[in-house]
Amino acid sequence: MNVTIKPINAMTVDVEDYFHVSAFEQHITRDRWDKLPHRVEQNTGRILDLFQQRQVKATFFTLGWVGERYPGLVRRIVADGHELASHGYQHTRVTEQTPDQFREDLRLSKRILEDVSGQSVIGYRAASYSIGAKNLWALEILQEEGFLYSSSIYPVKHDLYGMPDAPRFAYRPTNAPGLLEIPITTLNLFRRNIPCGGGGFFRLYPYSFSKWAYRYINNKEQQAGIFYFHPWEIDPEQPKQQGLSFKTRFRHYLNLSKMHDRLDNLITDFAWDTMRNVFLNKTDCHH
């Protein structure tokens, strides 16, 4: 009897606070970050509680900036059996960095996270998926700095990021063959890639669509999906920013009050594990 094993998906959390998001860059300068109310610790704590309750293991792509200020949070992530990975130091997009600045940023965040946690950090996700066709040199630097995988390229067309012609599933880039690039999950519909890997799109679509998409990817395409979200997305009480454009306001605040329950449905409906366990403990990789 031929039994098909259902792929396990990778659950990921980008550990940053509401004021770190790229869309707020023009509104909240970095020198104000420490003066604002911080909510990342309590929100990430709620996520850890939910994961513990549902016995889900995830990868937490954490800003070095957060690790510096909340070492106890980083230690809890690791103590709960999750994987710790880097989200850079202070959410600077790779498109805004020179290769030297990028390397410095990588080293700083990796050092902070490893010192606090006592664990090696082998995974990286660029702020706002800011690695694309114009800065693929970043992948070489990641490999040189000892990272084994990156999840920084989103194969979609989007006004803020994206590399629509990148592969949809995990691959080894030609310029950095020692690194595995693991793109965020998309569905190919009507000859274009539709984002369905989490974030604002998960809050925008009805849950039934996300459920259908992951079923299709797991069962029909026989692939593991990746889901990502941010701690601020389960926090409808966060301080509201003034002077935002309609588009930014819509994207950031849409359905925050529904996110926790939707997330609970998703982690109950599918099988989840860390990036390391889903992608690095397998040798079959699509070139």
Chunked mean pLDDT (size 10), the chain, 287 residues: 72 98 92 97 98 98 98 98 98 96 98 98 96 96 98 82 87 97 93 91 96 96 97 97 93 96 97 97 49
**For residue 286, is it within any domain?**
no
**For residue 3, is it within any domain?**
no
**For residue 138, is it within any domain?**
yes
**For residue 287, is it within any domain?**
no
| Alpha-carbon gap, residue 248 to 273, rounded angstroms | 31
Please report the pLDDT score of residue 165 as a whole number. 87
- The phi, psi pair for 22, rounded to 5°, reads -60, -35
**For residue 27, is it within any domain?**
yes
Residue 270 belongs to domain with CATH number? 3.20.20.370
Q: Could you give the 3-state DSSP secondary structure of residue 167?
A: coil
**For residue 69, is it within any domain?**
yes
Please report the pLDDT score of residue 156 as a whole number. 78
CB 120 within 8 A of CB 114: yes
Task: Kindly report the pTM of this predicted structure.
Answer: 0.95
| Alpha-carbon gap, residue 87 to 61, rounded angstroms | 5
CB 275 within 8 A of CB 185: no
Pairing of strands 186-189, 192-195: antiparallel
**For residue 1, is it within any domain?**
no
Please report the pLDDT score of residue 147 as a whole number. 98
List residues bridging with 180 in a β-sheet. Answer: 149
As for how many domains the chain has, the answer is 1
| Alpha-carbon gap, residue 76 to 127, rounded angstroms | 23
Domain that holds residue 115: 9-280
| Angle value at C-alpha 21, between 215 and 175, nearest 5 degrees | 65
**For residue 4, is it within any domain?**
no
CB 275 within 8 A of CB 83: yes
